[in-house]
Amino acid sequence: MRDADQTRKMAARPTVLLSALIFCLYGCHAARGECSNVTLLSTQVDTLLAEYDRDAAPAQRVLVTLALDVRHAAVDEPRAVMRLLADLKMSWQEPRVKWNASEWGCGTALTAVERLWRPDIELLNAAATNLGDAGLRARLDAVGAVYWISRLDVTVPLDLALHDWPSDVQSCTFKFGSRIYNDDELVLDISEFKHAVVFEAGAWEIQSVSGAAGAWRRGDADVSTAAWTVRVSRRAPAHALAAATVLVAAALLLLAAAALPPLQRPPLAAAASFIAALWMITTLVRLPGSSSSPRALAVMCGVCVCGALSGACAALVLRVARLGTPPPQALRTLLSSLSTVCKLTPSPESCGSSESGAWAALARLLDRALSAALLLTLFVLLAVQLF
């Protein structure tokens, strides 16, 4: 009989332990379950905000902490503006929405942002603004903290700088502040928010986003501001490749022209100028107005001018070589002195119809000097563009 009782007691132990475990789990769930009771929590929030005046600012100075989470940034070149899609994260202390978390059983709550006082933070330098999203609710904390995210779709004028086109980097500053409250009533601060890396497939890539707090003078009062500078780089490898190819092709034509006699030089020089001019025409159609001229465009202008000067110098050399008037004595003396340094004997190709050896020697010397100057100019242009 005693053995049977012991057997029943041992069999009942797992049932007791299982019941105790279920009771503990149910008690813990019940302790946490009040926060998931949407009806009860909504009633408590309605009671808390029943006498809340959303048009009145807090009695004390409000510190608003801001963080800008950039989702997309692009440059509209024809209009010279930068469009920004971002989330402006705001948080501030509101003493009028505190509650006892132990009595409520919940430390946070969500409510429509229209029911709360909000700092009138606006984009001060915006040309077109879509600031705020009523669909996003504010999060309240039991200690009186308010957290809210404002969706931004803003457009700000941009001072285009195309000096490094087509590998240029554009930067634009987005300045936020209040148009109602001054520095004694509202202070803006920037939180240490780590910006996520954004991978985009458009023509512009975000390089960096940097923020800084400052002040703006409005009449006799100072207004606290928060500004973020967004830097984007252009994605245009095809334009860069085309510019380098055209430049190298024109330079090779000019080098080949310099190696030929003056009589055969103009066709290659004209071809180099034509290639550079054609590239400039097609590029100017795409380029917008800006505060600076692209360096690649300036280099191509230089190449075009070098080609024209090469043809003009060849014509000048031929004209000097074919002079028939007796040269002055000073020219003869100069050529005699220079002949000891370099060979000035004219070739039949360069001055076949010349009637005076002195003029032919002067033409040869002039050709060398002008060709050296043009080649030096071409080398400088290549160095400026490539390096």
Long-range contacts of 207-210 (CB under 8 A, 24+ apart): 207/169, 207/231, 207/232, 207/233, 209/68, 209/70
3-state secondary structure of 277: helix
Residue 370, CA atoms < 13 Å, CB-side half-sphere: 23
pLDDT tens digits, one per residue of 274-329: 999 999 999 998 888 888 889 999 889 989 998 999 999 888 888 887 777 777 76
pLDDT tens digits, one per residue of 80-108: 999 999 999 999 999 999 999 888 888 89
- How many other β-carbons are positioned within 10 Å of the β-carbon of residue 137? 16
pTM: 0.75
Of the candidates 276, 258, 281, the one whose C-alpha atom is nearest the C-alpha of residue 376 is 258
- Walk me through the domains of the chain, giving residue ranges and CATH numbers: 60-235 (2.70.170.10), 238-386 (no CATH)
- Considering the chain, what percentage of its residues have pLDDT values greater than 70? 78
Average pLDDT taken over every residue of the chain: 81
pLDDT tens digits, one per residue of 266-278: 999 999 999 999 9
pLDDT tens digits, one per residue of 19-75: 444 444 444 443 443 466 777 888 888 889 988 998 888 888 999 999 999 988 999
Of the candidates 181, 183, 171, 213, the one whose C-alpha atom is nearest the C-alpha of residue 68 is 213
